Chains A and B, each alone.
Chain A
Amino acid sequence: MTVVVGYLPNQYGKAALAEAISEARLRGRRLVVVNATKGDALVDTHYASEQGIAELEAELSSLEEGHEVRQTLGPDIAEQILDVVREVDASLLVIGLRHRSAVGKILMGSTAQRLLLDCPCPVLGVKAT
């Protein structure tokens, strides 16, 4: 059993990561960090750079039960995270939440909503401060 966190290199992702780390410690579980991209643009600011991943690894190295950072590529962000959740048989998924306008949701959909509804395990939603 593991804790999975959906990570983005911004304030929402950082908030989710901080919560996931303390949750992994509390539960004594391994932590799997997923950074997903659609990979259909040349540059994706939601995709962590090599340097960002190195910093992430350093931050996670203190976890006793071990950790793993995965960068995935696929047509659907939610599906990529759910695939990892199923694969590692996660006991908890941690994601960052943010305010979205109604129009924004109609146009772009909502990855968080998909995850909340479709994830087989409990989901912990974290708001950035």
Chain B
Amino acid sequence: MESLSLLWGGLEAAFTPTNLLYAALGVFLGTFVGVLPGIGPAMAVALLLPVTNGMEPTQAFIMFAGIYYGGMYGGSTTSILLNTPGESASVMTAIEGNKMAKNGRAAQALATAAIGSFVAGTIGTLCVVFFAPAMAKVAVKVGAPSYFAMMLLAVVLVTSVLGSSKLRGYIGLFTGLTIGLVGLDLSTGQPRLDFGNPLLAGRIDVVVVAVGIFALGEALWVAAHLRSRPLTIVPVGQPFMGRDDWSRSWKPWLRGTAIGFPFGAIPAGGAETPTFLSYLLERRLTKNKHEFGHGAIEGVAGPEAANNASAAGTFVPLLALGLPVTATATIMLAAMQGFGIQPGPQLMEDEPDLVWTLLASLLIGNTLLLVLNLPLAPLWARLLRTPRPYLYSGILFFASLGAYTVNQQPFDLFLLLLFGLLGFAIRRFGIPVLPLILGVILGPLMEVKLREALALSDGSLSGLFNEPLAILIYIVIALVLIVPPVLERVHGRGDTPAREREEQMSDS
């Protein structure tokens, strides 16, 4: 119950006009970027990093949190109206949502997505309030070896479990780790990978990397694919739900929340898996099975709740352990470092005001999201008519301005271009961006912990294994790496004859 009184304190702190303004701004921006495919909350937060340098950390995080939640919500609009998911977490929403819209039930689909997001976000945030402090209390006692193991686990999970190709995941991860190495060694002050350039020796600013990869890379990618056949949009009015829609939606909302939150909270986050699971579950449990595939409201309500609950869940590892598991959370971690806040288990003790105001503002932002978005749905749909050249010239302007203002150094613009080209290349070759950005930001933190652990054991490798928790995590990592390929091989062998039979049958 201590958590609740702290949350109440946070709510009081968050309810100032300035903070509410930032929350509203964040929610608005988040929905804006969420609606537009290709532009996500990660890019928005990266572009805003330089702007927030002059702000109070609390206000900056209130805005970022609004962007994060808003982005999750905004993706559903595009999924439902256009059948083009704005975010990967909205892919499942598109399946039933777009069918509903085509059947003339766009208003109900948007409403169940919005209200479901609100329900899931609120419950999810309350769960964070209860879980994060407990987790942090345990985590404070964790030593450097275990902490290093935990970060390694997060990195390995994100790289090998998510995404279709492990090879591509690791290419992204190691590219990111390499970028994270450039500059002065954090422990000894030795320059690394600086090519004799003093500007590089001062370490590359995270803003430049993030803006280059997210904003410039995406702009170049869009420029290379500028023209495409316009999509047919389903006209939409004011979202609303009938009594029947409510009775069919509330259970999927709760189940989606229950599935989404744990997936966000474990350091293997990502919102894709829970939305997928929620969709499968709803299809199994529904009484209207014949409607699935033709626009069942359960298939929108469940996954939309799941993705917002998992967005809330990612705040548990971020606040309690300093471990980000999504691209947006990674940039938010970088923002914390920018403010001189040390993320990690001590965060809740060191910066209680920041943490509790942030959590309270998540609740407020969530409510604002509902209030803003239900009436504004037609406006968001109009946004999709913006010609890409206008949109991306604006993004490029803010990207260059942002990269320049961090150090007022023209060299950073050159670096920005370089990372923009890298961002273009990873899109071209299908390399996931999350392991890369995680490598850039978590890499140096991991190195510090690794060096700390090794220094304690005088450089002996055994220093990494002298805590039971660390050993346990290494076993989990080994299982994560070994089990899926083995299972695949076993299953693959079992499948082959059946598949051959099928092929023969389809041939004849």
Contact = CB atoms under 8 A, between A and B. Distances in A.
Contacts of B388: 40-41
Contacts of A43: 82, 230-233, 384-385
A71 to B, nearest CB: 8
Contacts of B233: 43
B385 A45 contact: yes
Pick from B84, B228, B230, B387 the residue with the most CB of A within 10 Å.
Answer: B230
B227 A41 contact: no
Contacts of B387: 38, 40-41
A38 B385 contact: no
Interface in B493-508: none
Given A42-B37, A42-B82, A44-B385, A37 B230 contact: yes
A75 interface: yes
Contacts of A40: 226-227, 387-389
Contacts of B384: 41-43
A39 B384 CA distance: 12
Contact of A47 (B36, B82, B230, B389): B230
B229 interface: yes
B228 A39 contact: yes
A1 B370 CA distance: 58
Question: Is the interface on chain B under 10, 10 to 19, 20 to 34, or 35 or more residues?
Answer: 10 to 19
Contacts of A50: 232
B227 A39 contact: yes
Contacts of B389: 40
Interface string B81-112: 01010000000000000000000000000000
Contact of A73 (B227, B231, B232, B386): B227
Interface in A27-64: 37-45, 47, 49-51
A39 B385 CA distance: 10
A36 to B, nearest CB: 11
A74 interface: yes
B319 to A, nearest CB: 36
A113 B233 CA distance: 30
Main secondary structure of the interface of A (DSSP, over half): loop
Contacts of A41: 230, 384-388
Contacts of B82: 42-43
Contacts of A39: 226-230
A56 B227 CA distance: 24
A40 to B, nearest CB: 5
Interface in B210-257: 226-233
A75 B227 contact: yes
A43 B383 CA distance: 9
Nearest to A47: B230
B36 to A, nearest CB: 8
A12 to B, nearest CB: 18
B85 to A, nearest CB: 12
Nearest to A73: B227
B439 to A, nearest CB: 32
A9 to B, nearest CB: 11
A120 to B, nearest CB: 26
Given A49-B232, A50-B232, A42 B385 contact: yes
Contacts of A75: 227
Nearest to B226: A40
B232 A42 contact: no
Interface string B376-387: 000000001111
Contacts of B227: 38-40, 73-75
A80 B226 CA distance: 17
B149 to A, nearest CB: 44
Interface in B322-379: none
Contacts of A47: 229-230
Interface string A67-89: 00001011100000000000000
Nearest to A49: B232
Contacts of A42: 36-37, 82, 84, 230-231, 384-385
B99 to A, nearest CB: 16
Nearest to B36: A42
Contacts of A74: 227
Interface string B387-413: 111000000000000000000000000
A10 to B, nearest CB: 14
A92 B447 CA distance: 73
A17 to B, nearest CB: 20
Interface string B255-268: 00000000000000
Contacts of A45: 385
A75 B227 CA distance: 8
B73 to A, nearest CB: 18
Interface of A: 37-45, 47, 49-51, 71, 73-75
Interface of B: 36-37, 82, 84, 226-233, 384-389
Question: Sorted from nearest, which 3 A-B pairs have the closest CB atoms?
Answer: A39-B227, A44-B230, A49-B232
Given A42-B82, A43-B82, A43-B384, 18 more contacts: A37-B229, A39-B226, A39-B227, A39-B228, A40-B226, A40-B227, A40-B388, A41-B384, A41-B385, A41-B386, A41-B387, A43-B232, A44-B385, A47-B229, A49-B232, A51-B232, A73-B227, A73-B228
5 contacts: A39-B227, A41-B230, A41-B386, A42-B384, A75-B227
